[in-house]
Amino acid sequence: MNAIVPRKTVEEVVAARNETLRRYEEAFGKVAEASQALSDARAMWKEAAPSVEGRYYDAGKETKAFFKVVQMPDREQYLATARRLVDITVWQHVVEISGIEDLMDREEKDKLRSQMQYRAPKFRSANNFLETLLKFVEWAEEDSEHGDIFGTLRSFQRELKDLADGPETFEALGETGIETVRGYARRMVDAVKAADLNGSVWLQDLTTAVDAFESLIINPKGLPPVTVDNIMATLNGLLGQSNEIFMRGVANSFSALDRRFRSHDGFKIGSRIIIDRLCDADGWLSYGRREDVFVDVERIFKVLDGGKPGAMYGSIIEVIRRERGNSLNARYSEHEGDYFKVRIFKNGNAHLWFTRKDLVLKVNRILAEYYGEVVGDGMTKEEDPLKNVKTTPAKRYGFYPTPDAAVKTMLDQVPLYRSKDDPPLKILEPSAGTGNLSRPLAAERTGSHRQSYGEPSIEYTYRHDVDVVEIQPHLADALEADGCYNRVFKSDFLALRPETTGLYDIIVMNPPFDRERDIDHVVHALKFLRPGATLVAIMSAGTEFRETKKAKAFRALAATMSADWRDLPPGSFAESGTYMNTLILKVRKPSGH
């Protein structure tokens, strides 16, 4: 990758871009002049022959083309389209001359291409959005007299939130539309206050949604504006992240080759990898993700070998396709490229041998650096049964706070709203750390909700008795200082017993991952569940398929409790300091246990 594109080059690119848009604006003016001149000509024609227009010519192609020689578009939409088309190509050029694409895997390139794909501003969607917001504001103003605005308030907030996922609609709002939204937001805040909810969590949630909208104005999604400062900041950012981008690409590429590598517990590549179903039943090399991953792996080896990724021709994929020919039958074949030996069997599976041990070593060093010291602990080589519990604390107590996105995904798995006459749910978070999981559960909310406008309200409560356990004294003290928890147990969770705490309706947890400690903690937590209750835990992704005795025994136990395994996106805990892949496990303790 280039050290950086010179600022002078960027200034020249931006200057050319600005001049391009100026000329399109000038061209639009000339088109408008031409359109007016044609209108004047048609008006004069009507004076010359006011009653016979259209009688003496047919409606052939030539005639239609004559009348459609100039068709005026909407000025704002035309210039917005010109700006977006030009900006897409400018950003594509900047990325190309920076060399950053050479370090990206297929997934990262797809994200980049998606961002640079042309999407027309959605002017109709923007108008519909404004109409919908106005409707909710008017309903809220009407409902504020009865204190029943919760349903409309939630809908208003959801519309604002969804706008962040629709950059084409946001772009079409323009300055006038943005000011209109701000006016509606002020009216909604006044309606909330009029309903005597000033200082409530509802007003806080609304304020948060409005703040997010204001942030979107400052940092809109999609392509950033083309300015010298924006381009230089983007390139500097890419330069600073280039090593991480490449490491992430290496990790994603090798983990995609074989599902067993997804956990990355003590993961390193050896001399061989198996790619399932590289060829279809007729012996054809499969197009799609398996081929893409194969190409990515070859690209990685080529970069590590000091070369530059080139065209597909000459790649191992093309060697295989050429040497297998066009025969329509499943068959065995062998192939060799610069970095691989490949054997393809009749079942379509391919065995891939790496022929460059020096490059394999480089890959493994990259993987070790990317996944960090958690992988150093790795999967235990001992095949422990469930009763062989590691009672010594993990390194740094396995403390990786749960990011907000993972918290939301996790809490969506459990029913938390109750009828107002039901008793509070008893909830436990073991190894609570900073309370990222438990704090949202400890917030009290009461109110009513309408399924749709005009129907009677349903009263509910979001009120729980939440207990937390934390072994680190300073974190336990901070949890206690929050003042929102029922009880704070300053203890090692594995040393705690349900006789001390009682049983719970729901347990949410993010235990230490290393050396299968997450299994130890989840198995222990099951003792604290009442029959029929639910446990939701974040665990290492390897728990679902690891072949140790402990992992197999745990999966068998989870299967008796209707286990639901759901992957979290790769890098979900990156902001907390680890790239270990994770999943969410949800189980329900059977009645009578």
Q: Is the pLDDT of residue 448 over 70?
A: no
Give CA–CA dist 28/75, Å, rounded: 8
| Arithmetic mean of pLDDT, 490-498 | 89
Q: Which region among 14-28, 267-281, 456-470 has the lowest average model confidence (pLDDT)?
A: 267-281
Q: Is the pLDDT of residue 489 over 60?
A: yes
* Per-residue exposure over 266-281, b if at least 16 CB sit within 10 Å of its own CB, e if not: bbbbeeebebeebbee
| Arithmetic mean of pLDDT, 33-38 | 91
Q: Which region among 100-104, 280-284, 346-350 has the lowest average model confidence (pLDDT)?
A: 100-104
Structure tokens at 188: 């909604």
| Arithmetic mean of pLDDT, 171-199 | 81
Confidence of residue 427 (pLDDT cuts 50, 70, 90): very high
Helix (H, G, I), strand (E, B), or coil: what is residue 314?
coil
Give CA–CA dist 350/328, Å, rounded: 18
Whole-number percent of the chain with pLDDT over 70: 74
592 Rama class: left (phi>0) / alpha (psi -120 to 50) / beta = left
**Which pLDDT score, from 0 to 100, does residue 544 have?**
78
Q: Is the pLDDT of residue 258 over 70?
A: no
**Which pLDDT score, from 0 to 100, does residue 315 have?**
77
**Which pLDDT score, from 0 to 100, does residue 388 have?**
64
Q: By the 8 A CB rule, do 515 and 547 touch?
A: no
Q: How many residues does the chain have?
A: 593
- According to DSSP, the residues that pair with 459 across neighbouring strands are 448
List the strands of the sheet with 333-336, edge to edge: 272-275, 350-354, 340-344, 333-336
**Which pLDDT score, from 0 to 100, does residue 377 have?**
41
List the one residue out of 74, 70, 117, 72 whose CA is nearest residue 92.
117
Confidence of residue 379 (pLDDT cuts 50, 70, 90): very low
**Which pLDDT score, from 0 to 100, does residue 383 have?**
47
Q: Which region among 354-363, 496-505, 542-551 has the lowest average model confidence (pLDDT)?
A: 542-551
Q: Could you give the C-alpha distances from 509 to 148, 389, 412, 516, 586, in angstroms and in order?
A: 35, 18, 14, 15, 11
Q: Is the pLDDT of residue 182 over 60?
A: yes
CATH topology of domain 395-588: Rossmann fold (3.40.50)
Give CA–CA dist 75/404, Å, rounded: 42
Q: Could you give the C-alpha distances from 412 to 162, 402, 405, 437, in angstroms and in order?
A: 18, 15, 11, 12
Task: Enumerate the domain spans of the chain.
Answer: 7-98, 123-218, 244-371, 395-588
Highest mean pLDDT among 49-63, 107-121, 245-259, 512-526: 512-526
- The pTM of this model reads 0.48
